[in-house]
Amino acid sequence: MANDDKILEQVTNNEYKYGFYTDIETDKAPKGLNEDIIRMISQKKNEPEWMLEFRLDSYRKWLKMEEPEWAHIYHKPIEYQDIHYYAAPKKKKNPKGLDEVDPELLDTFNKLGISLEEQKRLTGVAVDAVMDSVSVKTTFQDTLQKHGIIFCSFSEAVQNHPELVRKHLGSVVPNNDNYFAALNSAVFTDGSFVYIPKGVRCPVELSTYFRINAANTGQFERTLIVGDEQSYVSYLEGCTAPMRDENQLHAAIVEIVALKDAEVKYSTVQNWYPGNENGEGGIYNFVTKRGLAKGHNSKISWTQVETGSAITWKYPSCVLLGDNSVGEFYSVAVTNNRQQADTGTKMIHIGKNTKSTIISKGISAGYSENSYRGLVKMTKNAHNSRNFSQCDSLLLGDKCGAHTWPYIKAQNTSSVVEHEATTSKISDDQLFYCNQRGIDTENAIGLIVNGYAKEVLNKLPMEFAVEAQKLLSISLEGSVG
Amino acid sequence: MLSIKNLSVSIEGKQILKKLNLEVEKGEVHAIMGPNGTGKSTLASIIAGRDFFDIDEGEVFYKGQNLLEMDPEERAREGIFLGFQYPVEIPGVSMNNFLRTALNEQRKYHGLDPMSASDFIARMEEKKKMLDMQSNLTKRSVNEGFSGGEKKKNEIFQMAVLEPQLAILDETDSGLDIDALKIVANGVNKLRKPDNSTIVITHYQRLLDYIIPDVVHVLYDGRIVKTGGKELALELEEKGYEWLKEHAY
Ligand SMILES: Nc1ncnc2c1ncn2[C@@H]1O[C@H](COP(=O)(O)OP(=O)(O)O)[C@@H](O)[C@H]1O
Ligand SMILES: [Mg+2]
């Protein structure tokens, strides 16, 4: 396999000298990043000129930027020239049945209570015609079409709805917003696009699961959600099943625009490979997520359950521009072993009477580091605005770290910012109390942790919440011994 | 049911139980009395499986099994229940969820399916009625913000729901007003069955006006220094613990 890669690399490198574009056979761009690679990505995707310009502009800005160092995380330097920035969607060899799938993975699925059908889908087992998920997807797409809802891959959106993409792309997260955002803007491969027309309440949860032509978009994912006036949508990203990816660096962007009276609810369960016990391997997840509550009375709500990744760097934020607009952030971040999470939110109050709520629950175990970092900003004209923040940390054991960095900037006097924080531990007495009632230590931790995170889990769509509960317990397995 | 022989226990090098012997038969209610700091709670903890003690010698058998080799959760599933002297708070975990998990763990251990939600609710209601308890405790988090009396009543309620074979109540009567005391006693009496045994640890004779024990033991300085019938409790009340000193050595 490694040998194949080398040959492939040589071949692609060779062809590169003669002009990359003629090459259709290769499935990977050579390592490294330069304008040619970006042109190649854009051309492979048959993108319009403005899209290429956006990418090149991002790349040029990225070159002048520096990787941020303020987060409470540590990692070896990322070799940006050692990454393949384009790989064609690969045809994987699909297992014929579940008996060909890694038993450890199946074990986790069973613990999560994922149905057999779902297990087959997640592991790529070929399903027979009756069960074929494509047909499910088709009926799903029919429903959406009836309401005029657009839900497709980002690439398709660029082809089929260029005016919408062009209007909103980068309008919430500018391409020079931060180092990782600039990188994503230059090289993103795919992601999701959602448009909910005026006055439409999306009747179903939109989940990446149902997106037709969902290519393998793990590494540099780009999502854009636009809620037109008086619309509503609930969007689900990720799944509880453990996700592996050969690429260590992930830098995604999610942009949300909510127009007047619109509401967008975005839920994430992030369970990328966290690395092994010693902190080897694992995904570096540098994500920029931001919502613009643009119109009056609009609302953007982030809910996240973060259990995976070796490094999580992520601050889903709300810019509350419209008067009376509302921003919410509900987060559970679990770190175990050598995982590091630096996560939180920014609530930027610009409009009058804007409101935001932050509920953050950090759970640290093993030798992990778990930080909450949040900014609440009341700008000059955000009269009579309010924020409430609650940031709790729960520690398992005494080798892990929990940190809270709340930043508050108040530029008017009529607004109120409230911040509460607690740190607690799971005590031996609590565990013994559970043991004495017949509940073993692992289950006891699950029970306590889920109780602790309940406020956030309750915000997830129902089916998701049940799986997420189990996920929390599983993520902490072996953390007390 | 329970057989303790020559049990010596220490913590951080300090000996707490000294060659203690105790036999509890099926269907019996035993009271263990004694002044503070003599090792009553230690004894209860050892039976329940707390692991921060050193067992220097002796053995403990429960239903013929070597109890000291079992995990605390296994002991619980085999029917041992400890009503804690100081019940701990578990924020965020509702009593309902907690007890349902406990009950289903017990059932799983015995090869039974989990209890359905409706059966569980029925069981909770039945026990509340039996104990004359208000219903709102079960919606709250385990012991969180409970008054001292509520915590004790809650222990009895859990005992009622889990239906143990050997219940050990560690000073469940301390700090209770007379009404709460009656609830506790009532609970114990109602659960008294030919197959079950109870060990009531108490500091005062008062509780024994409501729970009539078959056997009364006096624990003093890590040893059982006197064993008798229910009249022993009265004698103790009259003469005070000082009276025991002469028996102790
Ligand atoms: N966890 C512990 N660490 C140190 N000493 C303890 C601990 N638990 C009990 N002891 C000591 O053991 C002795 C017996 O305590 P305990 O069993 O609680 O007595 P009782 O319940 O009869 O009041 C006391 O001297 C007490 O200080
Ligand atoms: Mg005691």
Residues A315, A344 contacting (CB under 8 angstroms): yes
Q: Which of B81, B93, B158 is the closest to A447 by Cβ? A: B93
State the nearest Cα–Cα gap between B156 and chain A, in angstroms.
13
Retrieve residue A88's tokens. Answer: 């064609």
**Distance (Å, rounded) from C-alpha A351 to C-alpha A326?**
10
- What is the interface size between A and B, counted as CB pairs within 8 Å? 78
Neighbours of A91 (CB within 10 A): 7
State the nearest Cα–Cα gap between A363 and chain B, in angstroms.
14
Residue A247: alpha-carbon gap to chain centroid: 15
Retrieve residue A446's tokens. Answer: 């699950």
Maximum mean pLDDT: which of B74-83, B128-137, B203-212:
B74-83
With cut-offs at 50, 70 and 90, classify the pLDDT of residue A245. Answer: low
A231's CB contacts (< 8 A; 6+ apart) are: A196, A197, A198, A199, A200, A201, A202, A259, A262, A263
Say what the ipTM of the complex is: 0.96
**Which is nearest to B93 in space by CA: B102, B84, B85?**
B102
Q: Largest Cα–Cα distance of chain B, in whole Å?
A: 57
Rounded to the nearest angstrom, the distance between the alpha carbon of B37 and the centre of ligand 1 is 6
B12-29 pLDDT, tens per residue?
999 999 999 999 999 999
Rounded to the nearest angstrom, the distance between the alpha carbon of B79 and the centre of ligand 2 is 22
A57-104 pLDDT, tens per residue?
999 999 999 999 888 988 888 889 888 888 765 545 566 677 776 666
**Distance (Å, rounded) from C-alpha B77 to C-alpha B216?**
27
The ligand minimizing its distance to the Cα of B43 is 1
Q: Which of B73, B76, B92 is the closest to A454 by Cβ? A: B92
Residues B187, B132 contacting (CB under 8 angstroms): no
**Which is nearest to B161 in space by CA: B142, B183, B187?**
B187
Neighbours of A25 (CB within 10 A): 10
B79 touches chain A (CB under 8 A): no
Retrieve residue A94's tokens. Answer: 């699909």
Domains delineated in chain B: 2-86+150-248 (3.40.50.300)
Q: What pairing do the DSSP bridges indicate for beta strands A340-349 and A317-320?
A: parallel
A256-288 pLDDT, tens per residue?
999 999 999 999 988 888 888 887 888 899 999
| Beta-carbon separation of A438 and B94 below 8 A | no
State the nearest Cα–Cα gap between B40 and chain A, in angstroms.
17
Q: Which of A433, A441, A452 is the closest to B88 by Cβ? A: A433
Record the pTM. Answer: 0.83
A427-481 pLDDT, tens per residue?
999 999 999 999 999 899 999 999 999 999 989 887 778 778 888 888 887 776 5
With cut-offs at 50, 70 and 90, classify the pLDDT of residue A188. Answer: very high
Pocket-testing residue among B41, B203, B204, ligand 1, by greatest number of atoms within 8 A of Cβ: B41
In the predicted structure, residue A123 carries a pLDDT above the cut 90: no
**Distance (Å, rounded) from C-alpha B64 to C-alpha B2?**
8
Ligand 1 near B202 CB (within 6 A):
no
Q: Which residues of A touch B (CB under 8 A)?
A: 424, 427, 429-430, 432-441, 443, 447-448, 450-454
Euclidean distance between the first and the last CA atom of chain B, given in angstroms as a whole number = 29
Listed by start position, the domains of chain A span: 2-476
